[in-house]
Structure 1
């Protein structure tokens, strides 16, 4: 819920990444590299300042998260986004974070984005096609689908990394089931104010959960409830 800067003084993607490094949000070279390579400016609505550290409305009563939240989630999931691993992004929205995942796991890995708004899925694919992740979309290692993210995407499970971009009242059981032993899920849980939960599945299938920080996300709900706001 913190904002690290505001206004339009930062007008380049590289400047946004450097500020996140300076603020201590980005701690690893890999996360910095992927956020420099996937330009956030390709994924925000036209006419909005893309590099401000703030969530932005993208229509359909949803937002693209602030850059510091994207960086936080990438840091938390970095070890599970190694080349050849599998990643699922629930509520993939504009496709920005999903594209970052795809770049990290590479063509030997597999990245799935799921959103229940068909128009968002279509526009996210257009965004991705303009980005450095476009070749992965073309070769089939990266895909975005229309679906109810609360059910995950079982066709490509299990996943090393699962990210949920909307707040659930509790952790959906299908997502726990689709997490690989040794895998990690990052999900906001709660109602008006939420905890960003880090869910680790141990080698024996048991679950360990801890809270990383306090956040505020739109709710993970049905398509109908989302469109009604």
Structure 2
């Protein structure tokens, strides 16, 4: 989609994605308009900031393509309320550059978002990137956003339970710790490696109902970096 959704500015990129219906919710569009993607791309890849494509950020990690971030946000919207005062808690695993953590905070202005990464330099990078904008600094200073180092496969129980959990790297399984840290109701969005052995990955959307019943749904095929151990 990069060829038709690229822009010369963040506003143009998001407008093109909305026009192409890769963003369909105006609330998600507005949240993404409020976060300049250039603040989260490396200086030497700044010319790729406004393309609909992933960008490497070091440590074998990437900032995902904007249309994938939009898809994740729209999947989680049903458990985020109407953003008119509800205090929701969101866990962003594999927070990487910090971009989606910031977008999720815009969708959850009355609640809290915890970003988790297992690589300390990426934790530091995400905080640094958020500090490039006034809104990012406010979110950090108010503790509406917290970014910590932890093993995302185990979630981050200290900040939970969560209304929504987003995982930005491919897991080898649907980790039970993450499901356990969901509120009831709550939703988990996670890419998982397929058991078929062909290297495919699929997004799984896991819903925990108000009665605690868990429903798992396999959706679209994707390509994410793996959710794994930190490099030695």
Give the TM-score normalised by structure 2.
0.91
Q: Is the 8 A contact 2:5 2:52 kept in 1?
A: no
Q: Is the 8 A contact 1:103 1:133 kept in 2?
A: no
Counterpart residue number, 2:176: 173
Q: Is the 8 A contact 1:102 1:133 kept in 2?
A: no
Counterpart residue number, 2:117: 115
Counterpart residue number, 1:204: 211
Counterpart residue number, 1:162: 165
TM-aligned CA deviation for residue 110 of structure 1 = 1.2
Provide closer, same or farther for how the CA distance between residues 72 and 113 of structure 1 changes in structure 2, counting only shifts above 3 A. same
TM-aligned CA deviation for residue 8 of structure 1 = 9.7
TM-aligned CA deviation for residue 29 of structure 1 = 1.1
Provide closer, same or farther for how the CA distance between residues 212 and 122 of structure 1 changes in structure 2, counting only shifts above 3 A. same
Counterpart residue number, 1:195: 202
Q: Supply the distance in 2 between the matched residues of 1:141 and 1:52 (Cα, whole angstroms).
A: 29
Secondary structure (helix, strand or coil) at the match of 2:220 reads strand
Q: Supply the distance in 2 between the matched residues of 1:8 and 1:221 (Cα, whole angstroms).
A: 31
TM-aligned CA deviation for residue 13 of structure 1 = 0.5
Give the CA RMSD over aligned residues: 1.6
Secondary structure (helix, strand or coil) at the match of 1:47 reads helix
Q: Is the 8 A contact 1:98 1:111 kept in 2?
A: yes
Q: Supply the distance in 2 between the matched residues of 1:35 and 1:68 (Cα, whole angstroms).
A: 11
What per-residue deviation string (whole Å, max 9, x for no partner) do you get for residues 54-78 of structure 1? Answer: 1111110111100110011011112
Q: Is the 8 A contact 1:26 1:72 kept in 2?
A: yes
Counterpart residue number, 1:93: 96
What per-residue deviation string (whole Å, max 9, x for no partner) do you get for residues 65-115 of structure 1? Answer: 001100110111122234310000000000000011112211x31110000
1:61 aligns with 2:63: no
Q: Supply the distance in 2 between the matched residues of 1:184 and 1:18 (Cα, whole angstroms).
A: 27
TM-aligned CA deviation for residue 148 of structure 1 = 0.5
1:22 aligns with 2:29: no
Q: Supply the distance in 2 between the matched residues of 1:213 and 1:13 (Cα, whole angstroms).
A: 26
Provide closer, same or farther for how the CA distance between residues 201 and 119 of structure 1 changes in structure 2, counting only shifts above 3 A. same
Q: Supply the distance in 1 between the matched residues of 2:131 and 2:117 (Cα, whole angstroms).
A: 17
TM-aligned CA deviation for residue 210 of structure 1 = 1.3
Q: Supply the distance in 2 between the matched residues of 1:8 and 1:200 (Cα, whole angstroms).
A: 31
**What 5-or-longer segments of structure 1 have no aligned partner?**
none
Q: Is the 8 A contact 1:91 1:114 kept in 2?
A: yes
Counterpart residue number, 1:222: 229
Provide closer, same or farther for how the CA distance between residues 206 and 23 of structure 1 changes in structure 2, counting only shifts above 3 A. same
Q: How many residues align?
A: 221
Q: Is the 8 A contact 2:6 2:13 kept in 1?
A: no
Q: 1:103 aligns with which of 88, 106, 119?
A: 106
Give the TM-score normalised by structure 1.
0.92
Q: Is the 8 A contact 1:121 1:146 kept in 2?
A: yes
